[in-house]
Structure 1
Amino acid sequence: MKKFGILVIVFIVCLAFLGFSANADIETQKISLNGSTSMEKMINAIKEGIEENYPELSLEPQFTGSSAGIEAVLNGTADIGNSSRYLKDAEKEKGLTENIVAIDAIVIVTDTQNKVDNLTTQQLIDIYKGKIRNWKEVGGEDLPIVVIGRESGSGTRSAFEEILNIEEQCQYANEINETGPIIAKVQSIPGAIGYVSLDVIDETVKPLSIDGVQASEETIQNGQYSLQRPFVMATRGAISQQNENIQHLFQFIQSEDGQKIIRAVGLVPVVE
């Protein structure tokens, strides 16, 4: 009996050791991502959802801005660079591949007490260039417009300014480093205006229509809503050239479950 008991203990210890080894293997299969703060909600949702399909994978994201994420891929400190703008030709020439995984709308927001519901594209341009400085000039109350935007290097700022063709022309009162604080700043300042990703909109701010069109999945997909940009997961070389783990990540994103996640966080899947 004593020998049998010892054998049982040895067997249990072996099973525990094998389980530990398996877990150790899972923990070593990591994918590092860096980049856009606007993509944080989507990436975190994918990180959580992928565990059911590929439990051996562990995503390790950082959110330091689009340009920083692209640089991280180029210098080898990240596997994937998250960018909320198209890649520049110079970045592609360095070997980066532009993998568009979702389409996002850049939504113009004001404080909830603002009486204005809609701006034309030209009015929006003139506000950010400093030509329109008071809400009464666009049908609102006699209240100064406080222009808020993202910091230099932000993918959201780059996309916003490129879409409107106003690069290096904006007259910002405040430049904010992250998406969340933009919402907080607009919420707290009467007369403030800012731009954020569609998926972070909540009841604390008021989204404006542009040229009479509200941002939605339908208006983004059919092109009616003009302020839209890609969510890019850049890799060094094509997806087919990446290791098996990275290929599995993109396979999950393109799967039915992955597309559900993209829709659930307020983004529009890319139509193949």
Structure 2
Amino acid sequence: MGIFGMEFDFNNVVAMVSIAIPLLAFFWEFVVIRRKRLGYRFQMDTLATDTAHAPSADVLARMHDNGRPLSQPSFVLLRIENAGWREIAPSDYLAPPTAETGAHVLFPDRRVVGMAVTELSHPALRHFFVTTRDGRTQETDGFGIGEDDGSGVIRLPRVTLNPGAHYKVLALLERSSGSPGAVFPDPELQADLTGQNRRSFAWGRWLARLKPAQTESHTFASRAAKVLMSLLAVAVLVQAGITLFWPTRPAPLDCVGGTLHMEGSTAFAPAVQAAAKEYATLCEAKGAKIVADDGAFQGSGEGIAALERTGAAAGLKGTEGLADRIAFTDGPADQGHPEILPRPVSYALFTLVVNKDAKVRNLSLAQVRSIYARKTTNWSEVGGANIPIHLVDRHRDSGTRGALEKRVLKGRSVPEADVNDCAQLAHDKAGVCEVDSTDTLLDRTATLPGALGYSEASSVTSGDLVKLRIDDMPPTLDGVENGTYPYWQTEYAYTYGEPPADSMAAAFLRYLTDQGGKDILRQYGNRPCSETEYPLVCRPA
């Protein structure tokens, strides 16, 4: 859509709205709401007995009124100010035309003993509070103290206040009711402005009626807050200006928009999620979105099952394939899945991990097989600490478990679990438990003394875990490629049928296997298949 020679897309519209909102907020706050505003603050409300107990402070607690000791005397300092940008005149106060008082301050459970105006922003304001009669200085008719239904009252006159003008009232009070020592209710200022402006146009009077009726109990903002808000406004305007007038970088030509769902291997998930994040950022201008949160990665077998269920429910015809879903597995899927198609992506490095309390860093291949055959049940039997061996396994459909059984245990299955919850394992004898994800396995192995588990090598970050060497060989890609380290597996991407060439599934697979995604796979300790001698087989030379 173009207007006045400028192209407007979604981002431009958002930028225009981001400019309009602060401008409207500024107009509402400073032109409408703050046209006339009577602000007030109780800057102090404290008991005289709350003062520090120095000898000189006792004088405050022993104040008298005509010789009578005051009951729990307290001090209140009230600031009244014009917080708007127009003058507040006597006629602006909401009060009967003949009344001299413009505001009342109520103090429940207290009596006002005395008061004084302590600070005037201009000396001329003094005449609103005191006057001279018969040669004596006394309070004006609108200024004084009293009582209303058990509450002490200070009456404040209809003071004319220019913008920014203020005055303060210091009052001495004592308890008149309530339990001794009980907290006094908050004081209350009863006042309002009419918002009248007979000289304004009709629209000005209409806007005045839009302002809140109640006055605020604080000023608009502190100086620091105003500075921060100003900086925020400047930042918003700069960002909006860049969005509107600075051309954004277009997405690469091979980017595809839409939403892609991914699932499967928990071990391969971190690398895939990182690549998905980069692709979504790169192709943001095309509207690319990838759903690849941890909840979607529940294991290789579960990923294949979910892919098949989605494909079957889609009702695809002919050679048409799902365009928006990929499942990742550690190793090839089992036989019996005729509708799904594999693509080798990389081969990944796996490792055995042991709790550091086992005091073991290296095992021979024979020792590993003896442990998983449950012939060796204590770490002391392989030179470690005298504690039982607890095997923490993945569920049967885990690709990480399948790689362990195929490449390390030579086809033998890991032992069946004794309990479902690893916390239920007896600490004084060997046992086996199963978990449903790589993260859970690493967590249980790190917290369970004597525990032995397995995962993708790049996922091991806890200082309570030790990556085991096998036959003195550390878990490295170099060891895999020269045949001295046995625990690895090819990572596959599965689609339901052949995804359309212009689909999100096809575009992301191209990115992952032949474009920038390869760099991310390498960062997570994987070898991209395109860098191997036989990419379609994707195995070490």
Fold agreement, TM-score > 0.5: yes
Give, in whole Å, the separation in 1 of the partners of 2:9 and 2:412.
62
Give, in whole Å, the separation in 2 of the partners of 1:168 and 1:112.
22
What amino acid maps onto 1:152 in structure 2? R
Displacement of 1:141 in angstroms is 2.2
Q: Which residue of 218, 222, 246 corresponds with 2:482?
A: 222
Tell whether 2:362 aligns with 1:118: yes
Kept in 2, the 8 Å contact 1:119–1:208? The answer is yes
Residue in 2 that maps onto 1:59: 290
What amino acid maps onto 2:508 in structure 1? L
3-state SS in 2 of match to 1:37: coil
Tell me which stretches of 4 or more aligned residues in structure 1 moved more than 6 Å.
none
CA RMSD of aligned residues (A): 2.7
Residue in 1 that maps onto 2:432: 173
Residue in 1 that maps onto 2:336: 90
Displacement of 1:70 in angstroms is 0.7
Matches within 5 A, 1:1-272: 15-16=8-9, 29-55=258-284, 56=286, 57-61=288-292, 62-76=296-310, 79-91=325-337, 94-163=338-407, 164=409, 165-167=411-413, 169-170=415-416, 173-202=432-461, 203-238=463-498, 243-270=502-529, 271=532, 272=535
What amino acid maps onto 2:272 in structure 1? I
Displacement of 1:108 in angstroms is 0.6
Displacement of 1:84 in angstroms is 1.5
What amino acid maps onto 2:438 in structure 1? T
Q: 1:121 to 1:190 in 2, by over 3 A?
A: same
Displacement of 1:52 in angstroms is 4.6
Kindly provide the CA deviation profile for residues 223-248 of structure 1, in whole angstroms up to 9, marking residues without a partner as x.
32111112111112356x55432222
Q: 1:259 to 1:12 in 2, by over 3 A?
A: same
Give, in whole Å, the separation in 1 of the partners of 2:454 and 2:263.
22
What amino acid maps onto 2:504 in structure 1? N
Give, in whole Å, the separation in 2 of the partners of 1:18 and 1:190.
54
Displacement of 1:129 in angstroms is 2.0
What amino acid maps onto 1:196 in structure 2? S
Q: 1:129 to 1:242 in 2, by over 3 A?
A: farther
Q: 1:258 to 1:222 in 2, by over 3 A?
A: farther
Give, in whole Å, the separation in 1 of the partners of 2:481 and 2:345.
14
Give, in whole Å, the separation in 2 of the partners of 1:158 and 1:75.
23
Q: Which runs of 5+ in 1 are unaligned?
A: 1-7
Give, in whole Å, the separation in 2 of the partners of 1:149 and 1:74.
26
Give, in whole Å, the separation in 1 of the partners of 2:4 and 2:301.
53
Residue in 1 that maps onto 2:318: none
Give, in whole Å, the separation in 2 of the partners of 1:100 and 1:16.
39
Kindly provide the CA deviation profile for residues 175-229 of structure 1, in whole angstroms up to 9, marking residues without a partner as x.
1111112111111122111111112012331011112211112112333211111
Displacement of 1:105 in angstroms is 2.1
Give, in whole Å, the separation in 2 of the partners of 1:27 and 1:152.
36
Percent of residue pairs identical: 23
Displacement of 1:268 in angstroms is 2.1
3-state SS in 2 of match to 1:173: strand
Displacement of 1:16 in angstroms is 4.5
Displacement of 1:20 in angstroms is 6.8
Q: 1:32 to 1:138 in 2, by over 3 A?
A: same
Displacement of 1:133 in angstroms is 0.1
Displacement of 1:41 in angstroms is 0.3
Kept in 1, the 8 Å contact 2:354–2:445? The answer is yes
Q: Could you say which structure has the higher strand fraction?
A: 2
Q: 1:153 to 1:242 in 2, by over 3 A?
A: farther
Structure of higher CA gyration radius: 2
